[in-house]
Amino acid sequence: MIKNKNEENYDVTIVGGGLTGKLMASILVNSNIIAKKKLCWIDTDNKSSIDKRVSFINYNNFLKLKKNYGCNFLNKNYMKISKIEIHNMNEKNPLNLEDKNGHGIIIRNDILKENLNFPENDLVIHKSKVASTNCDQLHRYLILEDGKKVKTSLVLSADGNSSLLRKLSKINYINHALNHTIISGYLNCKNFDMFSAKQIFLKDSFIGLLPYSKNMINFVWSLDNGILNKNSKFKYYNELIKRLNYFFSQENIIFISPKSKNIKLQIYPINVKYVKKPFQKRIALIGDAAHTIHPLAGQGFNLSIEDCFDVLKCLQNAKKIGKDFGEVSVLKEYNNLRKYRIKFITLVTTSLFYIFKKQKSYLNKLINFSFEKIDKTSFKNIFKILARGY
């Protein structure tokens, strides 16, 4: 039989050059379970498009990345978070969650990606996007925009929230628009505790504040679309700073626009996507392609990290008994390992979104009353466990 010179044959192919795709590639290269020429990575990300957002990584995921998966994080590259403060309108005091061991760390996405480095000749890299896919009993085929055809036993698709492969391989999901817009960026500040992260629930929006460096914080602002639709010339910085300085006036924490002109705002619509069965014949979804949640608890990439850990477990189990990596039993094992955690985090973050979005005054009083009670009981450990990871 004549082999098509444009067709290449692999055991596993990872699609996507975002955080999840790169982490999956790094974990598989370092695990040595797949021969160099049998692992393929479709990474079309342009090195010049630097992701300057930051991620909160749970302490447990951070420790595992360092100790079990050889990720070498330099101390100067991340900030440790030992306290999380949850603030609400008309509160007496915030709900304080302190953890002496640390809740987790804050790291800039581009620095995190650099820390996941591995020798690029330990796998085959393609720089062209996937345009279409089909499969037979033993293989899935990916047809790239440059005309190359990738033949592989298993595809791990980390192609993000708008995943093309999810659509092409007919994987169903629930898509729910939250009617909020996410605005993310940096602010300069004075008197902000550099070991604490803050989540503030206001009448029209939620603001997550993460310390980034001395006198600078990263914010994730989730704003009701109704406010944006009313004003076509909405001034993001002015409006945010007005809300924050008013809220923290008693504590003398002061926020100002960033001095550097290079810092740009990132603005996205936010939808929740829940994928009940994130696999099809010879393809499994990982990362945002498999679950998109509201960023209010900083858990989206944490779920993706856990996806990568669990994919590795399944592939190691398959290898031990000589099983084909793309067999349906391997895909089912992956789904069984992931399904409860993903459902739980999607449910918790979406419920928190709606509880705090309502902000009717009786509900707000109830929330503040509950926070006071929770603050005095061991029930608040549940929030700590959520923040630290499982």
Ligand X SMILES: Cc1cc2nc3c(=O)[nH]c(=O)nc-3n(C[C@H](O)[C@H](O)[C@H](O)COP(=O)(O)OP(=O)(O)OC[C@H]3O[C@@H](n4cnc5c(N)ncnc54)[C@H](O)[C@@H]3O)c2cc1C
For ligand X, the binding residues (CB under 6 A) are 15-21, 42, 44-45, 53, 55-56, 129-130, 158-161, 164, 182, 184, 220, 268, 287-288, 295, 298-302, 304
Bridge partners (DSSP) listed for residue 134: 141
Shortest distance, CB of residue 249 to ligand X, whole angstroms?
Answer: 26
> Least separation, in Å, of the C-beta of 322 and ligand X?
30
Is residue 296 a contact partner of residue 222, using CB atoms and an 8 Å limit? yes
Give the whole-angstrom CA distance, residue 15 versus residue 145: 13
Q: Which is nearer to ligand X, 302 or 364 (CB)?
A: 302
Considering the complex, state which of residue 49 and residue 250 has its C-beta at the smaller distance from ligand X: 49
Q: Contact at 8 Å (CB) between 180 and 223?
A: yes
Closest to ligand X by CB, 195 vs 268, is 268
d(CA 352, CA 86): 12
Q: Which is nearer to ligand X, 197 or 314 (CB)?
A: 197
How many C-beta atoms surround the C-beta of residue 369 within 10 A?
A: 11
Residue 300 CB, shortest distance to ligand X, in Å, is 3
The DSSP code sequence of 248-293 is TTTTT-EEE--S-TT---EEEEEEEEE-SS-EETTEEE-GGGTEE-
How many Å apart are CA 107 and CA 218, to the nearest integer? 11
Strands 83-88 and 78-81: unpaired
The least distance separating ligand X from the CB of residue 182, rounded to whole angstroms, comes to 5
- The residue ranges of DSSP E strands in the chain, in sequence order, are 7-15, 39-42, 54-58, 78-81, 83-88, 95-98, 104-108, 124-126, 130-135, 140-144, 149-157, 174-190, 196-201, 205-213, 216-224, 254-256, 266-274, 279-280, 283-285, 291-292
* Smallest distance, ligand X to C-beta of residue 41, A: 10
Closer residue to ligand X (CB): 268 or 379:
268
Nearer to ligand X, 57 or 202 (CB): 57
Q: Closest by alpha carbon to 268, among 160, 376, 174? A: 160
385's CB contacts (< 8 A; 6+ apart) are none
Q: How far is the CB of 368 from ligand X (least distance, A)?
A: 26
Residue 231 Cβ, how far from ligand X at the closest point, in Å? 22
Please identify, using beta-carbon distances, which residue of 328 and 347 lies nearer to ligand X.
347
Minimum CB distance to ligand X smaller for 63 or for 254 = 63
Spatial distance between the Cα atoms of 113 and 119, rounded to a whole number of angstroms:
14
CB of 40 to ligand X, least distance (A): 12
